[in-house]
Structure 1
């Protein structure tokens, strides 16, 4: 695995921890946006693939997640998360000026990345969405209709067919294993609408990756959002039998190969 450096940024709601997987002579920058309840440290294998392909990789722990400040999993406004992610991009660009920037967002990070592309798309060379929470995601509406949000944590088995992935997730002290918080669910609902109304990303190259057995963020709901965001220009790869975390799936070598092929096409030569 590549060496990891850690940085601390002044975020919108407190200190933001940023992981950096450096490259001695990068040809592009990769910015990673992780999913709900987890942290950027779970993306070491993806970072290794990207650094092996010539990237310097940067990934913040979102507010209330991982080693960043804030009440656990409390996000009152996803626009703040986008702003923090942009600060991490500024950190990367200051260290490596002039390089193309690729944004990779998974799950909740896909929602953040989609909104980032709407706000700052001119700064990006490519966008990759993995199991993204965009489009017709029904969970917020179901939870907000309840008087009390149930304490039903994410099932580790829903992440990947690889049991080691679920076991590591369940044992990770930086992963949140409690219930969702109402302000966060409300922020999800608002931002889904914001992205839905926010327009497409124009000619920005976009790759959508999804498992067809994703029960946390169903494929059909994300398709609605991807089609609005990327139109007919979006490239997609749906993996039969794969669950929510395609970068941690049993066929992840195939997923990584698809990602690398896309980057070779999308990035300037």
Structure 2
């Protein structure tokens, strides 16, 4: 079984390899989930020539740690960054798409220094913000070809507001956000406001769908939308090296 050394212990991950993939998808699951929940998603992306890698968050799946306390956002970013670096070292010649669901989406944004709470929740100059939220990117520029976010909680969506702390999302980075209209864990209004601040973000809304889009009745449509969007990003890269 594949493992690597994380911030607080051994981290497990899964890889669904294919021969000569066009691109790589690095998946960060949400709280209470692990890479084993995404076999269907990974196999569905295979015809689109995607190789999927999924991380078990600390304390989840086969990774060491406490499932009730997966770590601070700083620690989650450190683990996820090590995972991305491992993937890039294995597949250095393929475009890399980072995808996160719920807590994984917060982590993905934090890896870019862009997971900032709304100013109404935490004051911009708060010591809590400096301590708990990475305000600078953990990944080098051009490390990612695209970013997919699913069910992003409000607590990470203050970025993009005028004079907001943290690092703005790169204008050239394509971003897809998928969200259920009936999401009770992460109500959709916050992602709608956040999307309006970022011209590079494509928001897809799914009626009669809640928080866990890839495990709900709409999962096939959501997966197809993600696959088609990523293929468009990769084709665009090929046309504009």
TM range (shorter): 0.7 to 0.9
Unpaired stretches in structure 2, ≥5 consecutive residues: 114-136
* RMSD, matched Cα: 2.0
Counterpart CA distance in 2 for 1:52 and 1:41 is: 20
Counterpart CA distance in 1 for 2:65 and 2:159 is: 24
Give the 5 Å matches for 1:1-269.
Answer: 6-118=1-113, 119=137, 120=139, 122-133=142-153, 136-137=154-155, 197-202=165-170, 203-228=172-197, 231-267=198-234, 268-269=237-238
Any idea what the Cα deviations from partners look like across 1:8-55, whole Å, max 9, x if unmatched? 000011000011111121121110010012211111111112232112
What is the count of residue pairs matched by the alignment? 207
Any idea what the Cα deviations from partners look like across 1:62-95, whole Å, max 9, x if unmatched? 1122211112231342122112112222222222
SS at match of 1:122: coil
TM-score of the superposition, structure 1-length normalised? 0.71
Unpaired stretches in structure 1, ≥5 consecutive residues: 1-5, 138-190
SS at match of 1:29: strand
8 Å contact from structure 1 (residues 30, 50) kept in 2: no
SS at match of 1:58: strand
8 Å contact from structure 1 (residues 63, 73) kept in 2: no
More relative contact order in 1 or in 2 (CA 8 Å, sep 6+)? 1
Q: CA deviation at 1:192?
A: 6.6
8 Å contact from structure 2 (residues 157, 191) kept in 1: no
Counterpart CA distance in 1 for 2:180 and 2:173 is: 23
Counterpart CA distance in 1 for 2:87 and 2:46 is: 14
Counterpart CA distance in 2 for 1:227 and 1:87 is: 31
Any idea what the Cα deviations from partners look like across 1:89-148, whole Å, max 9, x if unmatched? 222222222211001110111101111233225300000001112xx34xxxxxxxxxxx
TM-score of the superposition, structure 2-length normalised? 0.79
Q: CA deviation at 1:227?
A: 4.3
Counterpart CA distance in 2 for 1:72 and 1:211 is: 25
